Chains A and B, each alone.
Chain A
Amino acid sequence: MKKLADYIPDLSMCVRCGTCRSTCPTLITLGRETASARGKLSLIDAYIRGEIELSDTFVKHISECLLCGACQQSCPNSIPVPEIIMAARAEVINDRGLPLITSAIMKGLREPDGFVGKTLKLASFAQRVIFKDASHAGGMQSRLPLPYITDERLVPPLAKRFFMDIVENVIPAQAGIQTDGLILDSCFRRNDNGLEASSGEKTTKVGFFAGCLINYVMPDIGLASLKVLEKAGAVVIVPRGQTCCGMPAISMGDFEDAKALALKNLEVFEKHNFDFITTSCATCTDGLKNKFRKLLDDEGPEMKRRVDDLCSKVRDITDLLVNELKLPAAMSDLKNSTGGCVVTYHDPCHLRRGLGIKDEPRELIEIAGFDIKEMKHPCRCCGLGGSFSITNYDLSSEINRLKAEDIKGTGAEIAATACPGCMVQLRDGLHKLNAKVEVKHIVELLADRIS
């Protein structure tokens, strides 16, 4: 990863025109220049020039960024603001060290069967003690105010069974797995590499990367993904030993742990000689496809070759389904629509700006039989920003409120998106507005359609 000082040429490209003010969600919400990209770049510039220190105020302003990339997209000079912010956060970590808890979690994630996995499994049993059910809204709420989690926040429960465990424990060659109402009709078999779904004359070999939210919280999205990929004619493998994509660490500026996670995932996935590697999490896709290269860019030519090979295969599931597996054609037999049920689509930042994908998700929603009603600002960030929503919950909630009101304003029955992180956030925001809007992943809409 580049160091903060490496961005001096980029910083000099900021002429302080103010264009970023028109798109920055934190600026729009806080209404202060310090929240804009222009303000933050000015602070970073002043720090590099030695005018200010890495003070608490500096750290606070640098933390008030979702890394959504809206500023970079609107910037006439395409300044890579999110990267610069991450590098500034890394500078702070170098200076102050990583908070102990963060450090422990990140190190734990390197070994998914290690203590983090075990702790989460325990928490999966114990969560009902602290949290009360709010499943009507797709989550639960704390019975008491907790550090970082207020009692009004709707949080997703940990899954009863984690995705990787579900796919690990499939009986070989069993036709039909039932998990929480979702049935996989195809023939799955387990081999040494993990779960494999295969039938017929399939030739496209796809590796599925689950990611933390799908694994620990929303395994149904993972299972729906497998089902849809299989319908689209792919041989799907969920490699064992995969772990966190590293994006939470990167966004905090913890490049060292992110690098360790990247190396682990690289080893796990490159063994299979996949045609494609896919995820149903926009953030993970952006992490695997774009951030890996940057994390491992100073490891020599051999590593560069391995990373390039891996990254070139990574595709978001919406992109893969439409452009490679031609799902629309495979689903042409399902013509009848769902009877005018209206869906509005939220563009995840990592998908729209990180990967430039905007048409494929919409095409898939239509294929699933729904009418799309666009919201006013479909690609404005939902306000989650990974750990941002924990450290800056009030700001995150306010940004989320704007998004939820935008969704509510469409009158849609379903808000669809392609990122489990956004889903967690949208459910919380819509719940606060008392809006009767269901939040679904596109693959869930497709899987329902296939059933």
Chain B
Amino acid sequence: MLSESVIRSLQGIAGIDNVLTSKEDRLCYAYDATNQIFLPDAVVFPSNVEDVSKVLKLANTERFYVTPRGAGTGLSGGSIPVSGGVVLSLERMRRILSIDKKNLIAVVEPGVVNFELQMELGRAGLFFPPEPTSLRYCTIGGNIAECAGGPRSVKYGVTRDYVTGLEVVLPTGEIMETGTQTVKGVTGYDLTRLIVGSEGTLGIVTKATLRLLPFPKAVNTILAIFNDECAAGNAAAEIMISGVKPSAVEFMDMTSVKCTRESERFDFQVDSGALLLIELDGERESLDRRSGVVRDICLREGAADVRMLPSKKEVKDIWWLRRAISPSLVKIRPDKIVNDVVVPLSGVSDFLQAVRKVEKEKGIIMACFGHAGEGNIHVNILLDKNNAEEAGKAKEVVDYIINMTIGLGGTISGEHGIGMTKRTFAGMELHPVAYEVMKKIKGVLDPNGILNPGKIF
């Protein structure tokens, strides 16, 4: 619990209205999209970098924990205050400070919602390639903390590839500027990249300089339907090595597809199997040829049907469907354990086969979807946590999937982060020396361990 005097100091820093302490208010900052609840002792809304710095300095002298939070939409518990303390909500710092069309650069505050930025950029004919599935409500600060990916990263890369500079408040309260305003720059260590993906454990981003791209001239959207999901996995790998440079290769098994309300708008004509949603962007003249290549690959790999989605409405509907999958799985079982593994492209099909084998053996439903073009499959284990037998089996399945992933030369998290949900596995994947170096970095930057405790390690 925070003392009365600490609360008063926090009020002095952020203003009385920007410090919440009632249980009702704290309950609303106790969760994220992993749907776990850990109550903070207070919620503080900083208005600027100085507020953030002062709160962290106070945290070091008074020794309380600080957990930064954007929109609270993460899938690894990154913004959950596991050990209580202060939730530092960056919702109020939501200004787009500048959009420089000539230099393809934008400067934003961390609380800007990804989609709002995209709308503003769209008016200037630009876009910010990282578009996680939660783009309509997640914040840029959260994207940076988790190094978010999303469907487009198969062509454009992930958040770290589009952040050139940061203003960061270190755990000790010092304000640090990193990186450049230019497209490239190698002066000194790459502290920008150290912060991107550090899950709010090494600093709190208060301003970010982002790299932008001109909006692609045209887009083709293709939907391929497979009776056999392994064939879909093979097709995804083939598309990636064919040279057509897709801007999305999304995999969805039919368990995932059918639980969304949007699925009623389509006639997929299959009950099992999987869909591949492929998007190609670029010059209009090249799209038809590249689409033809994709269609041929899908048919060759055994697709039952390949459709070029003709209307904007269908394209919109299929993307809504894709984005709705994760939250819709609750219709099948009340709880889910989200895995975010990445396996080598050539191993996607083997991986899926192994997943189904264990699904059958354990009698536990598993929904698989994700960015197949990168080998990034979100394996969702569906269960009722209150059912001890099911919970036990689910744990065995998680261990199996993590071991198999590492065995295939993959990684246990492609884009969700380690957070609190996968911390017991991080040491399994990381080289022991690398793991120690990471801990040392954390120790140097956060000597008192006040920033976002209970995450990663």
Of A15, A34, A57, which contacts B327 at CB under 8 A?
A15
State the Cβ distance, A7 to closest chain B Cβ, in Å. 15
Q: Do residues A43 and B24 form an inter-chain contact, with CB atoms below 8 A?
A: yes
Is A15 touching B25 in the complex (CB atoms < 8 A)?
Answer: no
CB proximity of A231 to chain B, nearest CB, Å = 34
**Complex interface: chain B residues within 8 A of A77 (CB):** 327-328, 330-331
- Report how far A46 CA is from B29 CA in the complex, Å: 13
Instruction: Tell me whether B28 and A19 are in contact (CB under 8 A).
Output: no
Query: In residues 1-38 of chain A, which contact B (Cβ within 8 Å)?
Result: 12-13, 15-22, 31-34, 36, 38
A39 contacts B by Cβ under 8 Å: yes
- Stretch in B30-38, B205-213, B292-300, B363-371 touching the partner: B30-38
Residues of B within 8 A of A390 (CB): none
Annotate B77-96 by CB proximity to A: 1 below 8 A, 0 otherwise: 00000000000010110100
B316 part of interface (Cβ distance < 8 Å): no
A76 touches B73 (CB 8 A): no
Residues A33 and B91 in contact, CB atoms below 8 Å apart: yes
Complex Cα spacing A31 to B91, Å: 6
Report the minimal beta-carbon distance from A56 to chain B, rounded to whole angstroms: 9
Cβ–Cβ < 8 Å partners of A38 in chain B: 28
A59 to B, closest residue via Cβ: B24
Are A42 and B330 in contact (CB-based, < 8 A)?
no
Q: Which residues of A contact B31 (CB under 8 A)?
A: 16, 42
Q: Does B134 contact A (CB under 8 A)?
A: yes
Indicate if the CB atoms of B327 and A19 lie closer than 8 Å.
Answer: yes
Q: Is B23 an interface residue (CB 8 A)?
A: yes
- Give the residue among B27, B45, B71, B330 with the most A Cβ atoms within 10 A: B27
Q: Does A387 contact B (CB under 8 A)?
A: no
Contacts A12-B334, A18-B33, A77-B328 given; indicate if A46 touches B27 (C-beta within 8 A): yes
| A57–B24 touching, CB < 8 Å | yes
**A39 interface neighbour in B28, B136, B260, B336, Cβ under 8 Å:** B28
In the complex, how many angstroms separate the beta carbon of A47 from the nearest chain B beta carbon? 9
Q: How far is the CB of B338 from chain A (nearest CB, A)?
A: 10
Nearest chain A CB to B209's CB is how many angstroms away? 23
Residues of A within 8 A of B326 (CB): 17
Q: Which A residues touch B29, using CB under 8 A?
A: 33
Interface bin, chain B: 35 or more
Partner of A16, one of B20, B33, B324, B334: B33
Q: Are A17 and B261 in contact (CB under 8 A)?
A: no
The reply to whether A17 and B327 contact each other, CB–CB distance below 8 Å, is yes
CB < 8 Å: which of A12, A19, A31, A52 contacts B92?
A31
Query: Please, which residue of chain A has its CB at the minimum distance from the CB of B321?
Result: A76
Q: How far is the CB of B21 from chain A (nearest CB, A)?
A: 10
Task: For B133, give the chain A residue with the smallest CB separation.
Answer: A17
Q: Taking the complex as formed, is A58 at the interface, i.e. its CB lies under 8 A from any CB of chain B?
A: yes
Q: Which of A16, A22, A57 contacts B32 (CB 8 A)?
A: A16
Q: Which of A50-71 contact B (CB under 8 A)?
A: 51-52, 55, 57-58, 61
Is B27 a contact partner of A22 (Cβ separation < 8 A)?
no
Asked whether A17 lies within 8 Å of B73 as measured between CB atoms, the reply is yes
**Is the C-beta of A179 less than 8 angstroms from some C-beta in chain B?**
no
Main secondary structure of the interface of B (DSSP, over half): loop
Known: A58-B24, A78-B261. A13 touches B72 (CB 8 A): no
B156 at interface, CB cutoff 8 A: no
**Cβ contact within 8 Å between A17 and B24:** no
Check: B158 CB closer than 8 A to any chain A CB: no
A326 to B254: give the CA distance in the assembly, Å.
43
Contact status A22-B136, CB under 8 Å: yes
* Nearest Cβ on chain A to B134's Cβ, whole angstroms: 7
Q: Which residues of B contact A31 (CB under 8 A)?
A: 91-92, 94, 111
Cα distance A57–B25 when bound, in Å? 8
Alpha-carbon distance A78/B262, docked complex (angstroms): 11
User: Is A43 touching B28 in the complex (CB atoms < 8 A)?
Assistant: yes
With A12-B334, A17-B326 in contact, do A34 and B134 touch (Cβ < 8 Å)?
no
Assuming the A-B contacts A17-B327, A19-B327, are A33 and B28 also in contact, with contact meaning beta carbons closer than 8 angstroms in the complex?
yes
Which residues from B are CB-within-8-Å of A75?
327
Chain B residues whose CB sits within 8 angstroms of the CB of A58 once the complex forms: 24
B170 CB within 8 Å of chain A: no
Distance in angstroms from B434 CB to nearest chain A CB is 33
0 or 1 for each of B315-339: is its CB under 8 Å from A? (1 = yes) = 0000000001011111100101000
Give the residue of B24, B111, B324 whose beta carbon is less than 8 angstroms from that of A34: B24
Chain A residues with Cβ below 8 Å from B92 are 31
Is the beta-carbon distance between A18 and B91 smaller than 8 angstroms?
no
Q: Which residues of A contact B334 (CB under 8 A)?
A: 12
**Residue in A closest to B36 when the chains form the complex, CB atoms:** A16
Known: A16-B33, A17-B33, A33-B89. A22 touches B113 (CB 8 A): yes
Please report the C-alpha to C-alpha distance between residue A22 and residue B89 in the assembled complex, in whole angstroms.
17
Q: How far is the CB of B248 from chain A (nearest CB, A)?
A: 20
Closest residue of chain B to A57 (Cβ to Cβ) is: B24
**Interchain nearest-CB distance for A74 vs B (Å):** 8
Please tell me if B457 contacts chain A, counting CB pairs below 8 Å: no
Judge whether A15 and B89 touch: CB under 8 Å: no
Looking at A18, A19, A42, A57, the one whose CB has the most chain B CB atoms below 10 A away is: A18
Closest to A41 in B: B28
Cα distance A46–B91 when bound, in Å? 23
Residue B425 at the A interface, CB < 8 A?
no
The smallest beta-carbon distance between B238 and chain A, in angstroms, is 31
B35 contact from A15, A33, A57, Cβ within 8 A: A15
Q: Do B137 and A21 have beta carbons less than 8 Å apart?
A: yes
Taking the closest CB of chain A, its distance from the CB of B373, in whole angstroms, is 24
The reply on B56 being an interface residue by CB < 8 A is no
Q: Per a CB cutoff under 8 Å, which of B20, B23, B71, B327 touches A21?
A: B71
- Once the chains are docked, how many angstroms separate the CA of A13 from the CA of B328? 9
Q: Which residues of B contact A21 (CB under 8 A)?
A: 71, 73, 137
List of B residues within 8 angstroms of A42 by Cβ: 27-28, 30-31
Name the distance in Å between B18's Cβ and chain A's nearest Cβ.
Answer: 10
Q: Which of B427-447 contact A (CB under 8 A)?
A: none
Whether B25 pairs with A34 at a CB distance below 8 angstroms is: yes
A57 touches B22 (CB 8 A): yes
Asked if A18 and B330 sit within 8 Å, CB to CB, the answer is no
Complex Cα–Cα for A22 and B73 (A) = 12
B215 at the interface (CB under 8 A from A): no
* Shortest Cβ distance from residue A83 to the other chain B in the assembled complex, whole angstroms: 18
* Interface membership of B138, Cβ < 8 A: yes
Please, which residue of chain B has its CB at the minimum distance from the CB of A376? B119
Contacts of A46 in B (CB 8 A): 24, 27
Q: Give the CA-CA distance A21 to B73 in the complex, in Å.
A: 10
Chain A hits for B27, CB < 8 A = 42-43, 46, 51-52
A196: shortest Cβ distance to chain B, in Å? 44
Is A52 a contact partner of B91 (Cβ separation < 8 A)?
A: no
Q: Which one of B24, B73, B331 contacts A18 once the chains associate, using CB atoms below 8 Å?
A: B73
On whether the beta carbons of A52 and B24 are closer than 8 Å, the reply is yes
Complex interface residues of chain A between 81 and 101 (CB less than 8 A to chain B): none
The 9 closest A-B pairs by CB, nearest first: A39-B28, A17-B327, A22-B136, A18-B73, A76-B324, A76-B327, A21-B137, A57-B24, A22-B137
Which residues of B are interface residues toward A (Cβ below 8 A)?
A: 20, 22-25, 27-33, 35, 45, 71-73, 89, 91-92, 94, 111, 113, 115, 134, 136-138, 260-261, 324, 326-331, 334, 336
Apart from A32-B45, A57-B24, list 6 A-B contacts with CB within 8 A.
A15-B329, A17-B326, A18-B72, A31-B91, A33-B29, A76-B260
The 5 sampled A-B contact pairs (Cβ below 8 Å) are A15-B336, A33-B89, A33-B91, A76-B324, A77-B327
